[in-house]
Amino acid sequence: MHDVAAGHRDAPVPSPDAGVSFVMPVLNEERYLAVAVRSVLAQEFVGPMELILALGPSTDGTDAIAERFASDDPRIRLLRNPAADIPIGLNLAIRAARHPTIVRVDAHSALDAGYTATALDTLTRTRAANVGGVMRAEGRTPFQRAVARAYNSPVGLGGGAYHSGGADGPAESAYLGVMRRSVLDEVGPFDETIRRGEDWELNLRIRRAGYRVWFDPALAVTYWPRERWSRLVRQFRSTGTWRGELVRRYGRRNSLRFFAPPALLGVVALAIVVGVLQLTGVLRGAPSIVASLVYVPLAAYLALVGAYAASRRAGPGWRERLWALVVIPSMHLAWGAGFLVGAVSGARENIDTSRLHRNTPLP
């Protein structure tokens, strides 16, 4: 992530007391919204602030929670986002924002108390247009903890800096992001035709305009992954589909690591075909021996996943370790399948349905 050359343009630095606007798209987040909002209100920095919630058409108790917060604190403003899409909600909130620095917040996350102050210092020090840090995934159940550890492991999500950490420096993209509003006004808002990966595309435009995007490992955001296997699979399939769409649009500007999951899926499919042909006797002798080489990379992958699941990196308990055997291949194969669809036929109207129809109250 840090092989990105530094931009040649400095982003403007507002006065220290100019204020910050937090923007948060929200849909069916009754289990997590209160934690996310409180983490914003608890930010330790000097200057005025506001929190703008772009409310999608939730079917759980999310809106009631948001309305209670807004009635208790005048710094919280509510907007309606009937389209539900994240980039549309972000753009609505940014257009309504009053302050020159924008802090993107996910309703499924929580900011460390010093997050904003650290980000503002980093923006001033580096004169970057956008800065992001580490996604610190955590879980409340054995399954969710297994997913969180997979998020934070190179075995799971491929070693991106915002998952596993790295050195302070220029970056390709930024997780969530603390952005200068003037730069967004110059390069344009989030692309509303991109439902997933919209942050990567925006940061590409920021870098093309000559500004810096920065990674600061001192910034940490707590993130809670999906709570169920079916939702995890739907999320990763959708994310992979939109990455395939971005490859269609931007080709070589995408990292090579994005091609690993579809390659794995191809190996699995080929191994199944070879296995069927061998079992039915169609493949015999020397051709069968040569074809059996397809099992080598698959065996290596399974050994890697098994070694990870057996280690303490997968979690201290046996439940987390057993779930790791399911979680990691599910993430990779769902992402890879989505990627192939997106790369071949485009994402079209694909949406992430993994947060729909939540109705379980927070324990």
**Is a pLDDT exceeding 90 seen at residue 112?**
yes
- According to DSSP, the β-strands at 130-137 and 178-180 are antiparallel
Three-class DSSP category at 223: strand
Confidence of residue 267 (pLDDT cuts 50, 70, 90): very high
Its CATH class, for the domain covering 20-227, is: alpha beta
Three-class DSSP category at 97: coil
What is the Cα–Cα distance from 105 to 221, expressed in whole angstroms? Answer: 9
For 176-189, what is each residue's pLDDT tens digit? Answer: 999 999 999 999 99
Q: Which of 330, 300, 355 is nearest to 150 (CA)?
A: 330
For 285-302, what is the mean pLDDT?
94
What is the Cα–Cα distance from 220 to 103, expressed in whole angstroms? Answer: 13
Residue 116 pLDDT: 96
For 340-362, what is each residue's pLDDT tens digit? Answer: 999 888 877 666 666 665 444 33
**Is a pLDDT exceeding 60 seen at residue 233?**
yes
What is the Cα–Cα distance from 99 to 117, expressed in whole angstroms? Answer: 15
More confident position, 353 or 86: 86
State how far Cα 136 lies from the chain centre.
11
What is the Cα–Cα distance from 65 to 255, expressed in whole angstroms? Answer: 39
**Is a pLDDT exceeding 90 seen at residue 51?**
yes
Q: CB of 268 within 8 A of CB of 276?
A: no
Confidence of residue 252 (pLDDT cuts 50, 70, 90): low
Residue 253 pLDDT: 64
**What's the number of CA atoms in the CB half-sphere (13 Å) around residue 137?**
24
What are the sequence ranges of the domains in the chain? 20-227, 250-345
Question: pTM of the predicted model, to two decimals?
Answer: 0.84
Type of residue numbered 295:
Y
Please, what sign has the CA dihedral across residues 178, 30, 153, 202? negative
**Is a pLDDT exceeding 60 seen at residue 95?**
yes
Type of residue numbered 265:
L
